[in-house]
């Protein structure tokens, strides 16, 4: 029994990888990214031909309506549309290579995940403060001045205003 051969897609330009991933998953291809993919692949190679084909399907070269009318995009029948999009890619690469592209989680995450926003450096304000039993429970009511005022009052004064 032969071991499955690992396909190396790390030499693909990020732009081509992005176009193939977006296309197969039914997302629009950006015309500028597809044009960069053509420039970053060697002319006459299957990857360059694939980049040229995907550039032809980029939004701006075709409309979303055209994609839907020709069966490349469908909300009612998504599986046949996906198979048709895969068939376009499989004209230039084999299925193992396509599966390797779709399964490359590290590269997908690096290309498509947004950078998380920086964490807030301020400490969260406490919602409550517990004092001695005679003071009861005080709630945070906005500004620090209001907190200081409330801390000087008795619980009965706070409840009655």
**27-76 confidence digits (pLDDT tens):** 999 999 999 999 999 999 999 999 999 999 999 999 999 999 999 998 89
28 shares a domain with 88: yes
Within a domain: residue 94? Answer: yes
101 shares a domain with 46: yes
How many Å apart are CA 15 and CA 121, to the nearest integer? 35
State the chain's mean pLDDT as an integer: 79
Within a domain: residue 117? Answer: no
Whether the per-residue pLDDT at 141 is higher than 70: the answer is no
CB-based burial, 89-117: b 16+ in 10 Å, e otherwise: beebbeeebbebbeebeebbeeeeeeeee
| Residue 7: other Cβ atoms inside 10 A | 17
Whether the per-residue pLDDT at 80 is higher than 80: the answer is yes
Residue the block writes with tokens 């068939």 = 87
What is the predicted pLDDT for the residue at 83? 95
Q: Which structural domain, as residue segments, surrounds residue 31?
A: 14-112
Q: Domain total for the chain?
A: 2
Within a domain: residue 8? Answer: no
């Amino acid at each position: 029994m032969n071991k499955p051969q690992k396909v190396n897609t790390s030499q693909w330009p990020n732009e081509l990888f992005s176009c193939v991933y977006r296309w197969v998953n039914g997302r629009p291809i950006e015309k500028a990214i597809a044009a960069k993919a053509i420039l970053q692949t060697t002319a006459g190679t299957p990857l360059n031909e694939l980049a040229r084909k995907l550039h032809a399907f980029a939004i701006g070269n075709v409309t979303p309506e055209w994609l839907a009318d020709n069966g490349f995009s469908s909300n009612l029948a998504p599986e046949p549309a996906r198979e048709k999009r895969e068939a376009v890619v499989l004209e230039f690469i084999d299925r193992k290579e396509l599966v390797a592209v779709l399964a490359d989680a590290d590269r997908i995450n690096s290309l498509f995940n947004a950078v998380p926003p920086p964490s807030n450096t301020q400490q969260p304000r406490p919602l409550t403060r517990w004092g001695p039993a005679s003071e009861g429970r005080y709630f945070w009511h906005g500004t620090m001045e209001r907190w200081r005022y409330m801390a000087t009052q008795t619980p009965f004064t706070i409840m009655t205003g």
